């Protein structure tokens, strides 16, 4: 095969509703093409992180090359690109899809088209991908592939004549699927002789080789020894090697036009290589960078504090270690009266925050408290100075604030027409303004909104999914900063303000939120020796109140024939439980109280 000829390359990703069998189909493809022998199969080969496997979600992108000998006698190079599956990583998804010409849309033959099928199909169609529908699980007695085909045509407006019926379990139909990929997905276009133009899909850090970038080449070729420049970051490096994952790494002489593979950059700073950046020759650059690049800016900031202040240094070391493979992670030291020393950490979104916190706790054995998420506010002071505020504690006194601006997003939501009312309602509740509504087809409507980022990060996505029964897809990008009437809501426990519980909120929402938060904290904070009043306040004005009643009885009176050890063990167990709580003044506060804002009943 002539590597300059892109007609034998197919770049695609596999998308599906959860549990419709994306992973098993990926595994069967690797098996049938002898990329991985059966005995080496561990299920979900592509998801390498523990947490990814446990949660069944993909966090990082991944690309595996598969060689397929087709019925026409030729050998084709398939690059199977796995994409992250959550709105926090919407940008990473868009870059992964930009590296593909096609997508295999997996639909369960027993379940039919479901919500994520629709939202994923929308994402793929928006990226102008060729779509190969695959109807999976046809081995099951309850499979009804013909009806599912009709659904695909009716609900997704995707022609289903070419839909392939497969069983990821038995392997039936996988061969037909591979043939369909050859015939239905366009080969990549590009010019091998032109100056290099390659998209960075992902990067990871290797202790010995520095940063390794996963790339898709649109023009030109890369080989060891090339001098390359990253057009957005501006940094140059000497290529230390190129190769592909099969899924074990295989070094090659060259990656050329249309191909997907990895480039060893030798760079020591993980943050230097950014997803979406364009690689080109240092001495013979292409005219312009690939479109769609966004700086990976943290969207949301939370305080992360060790419960035991002695763990501060350990937490910093742990963050340093995580950042090596997650360059989007940024932090700065933060001090809280209630929680002591910690860090204000920036995240791509709340799922990202949860995953990072869980990894810190699990992999580094730390007990941590995360505080209420905040965005980056621009505060204009009366003296004309503008400061960026990422933590409610840093907000200047009200008398010194002229006005506050908050980040707004342009959000694009695609839903079936039946749900536009529900989406409107949700938008109103979240201070969003509809800017446009476009009927894409009989089955889908695109709604565009301007929405404050602070509203989107809290629970907007979960609410959107639940109120549209999962049918909505969401994409967003940063718009601008706009003035808003924002206030700082403080929480007082036993009359003392707890800085780590403060929250910046729109003034119209302050009252209901304060009430909700006081009620939620009442549920979360266990009864203590003394009554604990919980108050919500703006400035000096108390706007909500609840009370944790004092515990009245806590005694194990029964003694089993002098078995004192048993009693002592109970006391020791109670003491252990207290260690997991943070003493704020005289009040023992459980970890989850500091994220109560996320659990307030709407």
Residue numbers at the binding site for another protein (CB under 8 A): 529, 551-565, 567-568, 570-572, 574-575
Q: Is 313 exposed, middle or buried (0-12, 13-18, 19+ CB in 10 A)?
A: exposed
Instruction: Please check whether residue 193 is in contact with residue 257, taking contact to mean a CB–CB distance below 8 angstroms.
Output: no
Using the structure block, give the residue that is written with the tokens 């959550």.
Answer: 86
φ, ψ (nearest 5 deg) of residue 21: 105, 25
Question: Distance between CA 98 and CA 543 in Å, rounded?
Answer: 50
Question: Distance between CA 155 and CA 114 in Å, rounded?
Answer: 10
Using the structure block, give the residue that is written with the tokens 């596999």.
Answer: 14
Q: Is 61 exposed, middle or buried (0-12, 13-18, 19+ CB in 10 A)?
A: buried
Q: What is the DSSP string of 429-473?
A: HTT-EEEEEEE-SSS-EEEEEEEEHHHIIIIIHHHHHHHTTT--E
Q: How far is CA 222 from CA 116, 240, 282, 290, in A?
A: 37, 11, 12, 17
Q: Report the Cα 101 to chain-centroid distance in Å.
A: 23
Q: Give the relative orientation of helices 90-98 and 115-126 as an angle to the nearest 10 degrees.
A: 60
**Token reading at 45:** 């080969």
What is the number of other CB atoms lying within 10 angstroms of the CB of residue 472? 24
Question: Distance between CA 262 and CA 211 in Å, rounded?
Answer: 10
**Token reading at 26:** 């990926």
**Token reading at 95:** 């870059």
CA angle 445, 123, 176 (to 5 degrees): 120
Q: What is the four-CA torsion angle of 566, 567, 572, 576, rounded to 10 degrees?
A: 90
Question: Distance between CA 159 and CA 150 in Å, rounded?
Answer: 9
Q: How far is CA 295 from CA 233, 273, 275, 286, 348, in A?
A: 9, 11, 8, 20, 11
Best CA proximity match to 229, nearest among 191, 290, 284, 287: 284
**Token reading at 351:** 């799922």
DSSP 549: P
Q: How far is CA 108 from CA 139, 147, 179, 214, 272, in A?
A: 11, 11, 20, 31, 41
The residues, any chain, with a CB within 8 Å of residue 55's CB and separated by 6 or more, are none
φ, ψ (nearest 5 deg) of residue 453: -55, -40
Q: What is the DSSP string of 182-237?
A: HHHSPPP---TTSPPEEEEEEEEEETTTEEEEEEEEEESEEETT-EEEETTT--EE
Question: Distance between CA 292 and CA 104 in Å, rounded?
Answer: 23
CA angle 132, 134, 140 (to 5 degrees): 175
Best CA proximity match to 24, nearest among 120, 114, 137, 101: 137
């Amino acid at each position: 095969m002539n590597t300059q000829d892109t007609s034998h390359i197919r770049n695609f990703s596999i998308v599906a509703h959860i549990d419709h069998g994306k992973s098993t189909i990926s595994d069967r493809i690797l098996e049938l093409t002898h990329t991985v022998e059966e005995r080496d199969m561990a299920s979900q080969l592509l998801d390498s992180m523990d947490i990814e496997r446990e949660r069944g979600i993909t966090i990082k992108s991944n690309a595996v090359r598969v060689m397929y000998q087709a019925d026409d006698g030729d050998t084709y190079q398939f690059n199977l690109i796995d994409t992250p599956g959550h709105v926090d990583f919407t940008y990473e998804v868009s870059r992964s899809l930009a590296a593909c010409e096609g997508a295999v849309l997996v639909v369960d033959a027993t379940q039919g088209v479901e919500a994520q099928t629709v939202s994923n199909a929308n994402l793929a169609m928006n990226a102008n991908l060729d779509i190969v529908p695959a109807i999976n699980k046809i081995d099951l007695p309850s499979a009804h592939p013909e009806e599912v085909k009709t659904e695909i045509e009716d609900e997704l407006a995707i022609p289903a004549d070419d839909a392939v019926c497969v069983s990821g379990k038995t392997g039936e139909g996988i061969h037909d699927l591979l043939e369909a990929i050859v015939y239905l997905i366009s080969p990549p276009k590009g010019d091998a002789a032109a100056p290099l133009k390659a998209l960075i899909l992902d990067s990871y850090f290797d202790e010995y080789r520095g940063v390794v970038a996963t790339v898709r080449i649109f023009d030109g070729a890369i080989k060891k020894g090339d001098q390359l420049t990253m057009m957005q970051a501006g940094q140059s490096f000497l290529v230390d090697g190129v190769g592909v994952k099969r899924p074990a790494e295989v070094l090659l002489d060259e990656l050329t036009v249309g191909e997907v593979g990895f480039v060893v950059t030798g760079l020591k700073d993980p943050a230097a290589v950014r997803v979406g950046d364009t690689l080109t020759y240092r001495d013979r650059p292409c005219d312009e960078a690939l479109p769609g690049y966004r700086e990976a800016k943290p969207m949301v900031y939370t305080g992360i504090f060790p419960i035991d202040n002695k763990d501060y240094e350990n937490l910093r070391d742990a963050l340093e270690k995580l950042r090596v493979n997650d360059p989007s992670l940024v932090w700065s030291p933060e001090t809280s009266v209630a929680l002591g020393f910690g860090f204000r950490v920036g995240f791509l979104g709340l799922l990202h925050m949860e995953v990072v916190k869980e990894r810190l706790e699990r992999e580094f054995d730390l007990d941590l408290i995360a505080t209420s998420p905040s965005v980056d506010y621009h505060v204009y002071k009366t003296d004309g100075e503008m400061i960026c505020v990422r933590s409610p504690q840093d907000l200047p006194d009200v008398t010194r604030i002229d006005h506050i601006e908050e980040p707004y997003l342009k959000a694009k939501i695609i839903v079936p027409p039946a749900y536009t009312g529900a989406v409107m309602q949700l938008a109103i509740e979240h201070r969003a303004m509809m800017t446009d509504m476009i009927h894409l087809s009989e089955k889908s409507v695109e709604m565009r909104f301007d929405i404050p980022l602070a509203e989107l990060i809290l629970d907007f996505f979960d609410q959107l999914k639940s109120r549209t029964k999962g049918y909505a897809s969401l994409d967003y990008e940063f718009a601008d900063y706009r003035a808003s009437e924002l206030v700082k809501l403080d929480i007082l426990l036993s009359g003392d303000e707890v800085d780590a519980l403060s929250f910046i909120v729109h003034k119209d929402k302050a009252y209901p939120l304060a009430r909700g938060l006081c009620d939620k904290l009442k549920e979360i904070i266990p009864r203590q020796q003394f009554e604990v009043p919980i108050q919500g306040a703006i400035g000096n004005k108390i706007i909500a109140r609840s009370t944790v009643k004092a515990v009245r009885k806590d005694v194990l009176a029964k003694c089993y024939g002098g078995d004192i050890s048993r009693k002592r063990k109970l006391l020791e167990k109670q003491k252990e439980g207290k260690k997991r709580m943070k003493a704020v003044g005289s009040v023992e506060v459980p970890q989850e109280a500091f994220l109560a804002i996320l659990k307030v009943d709407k």
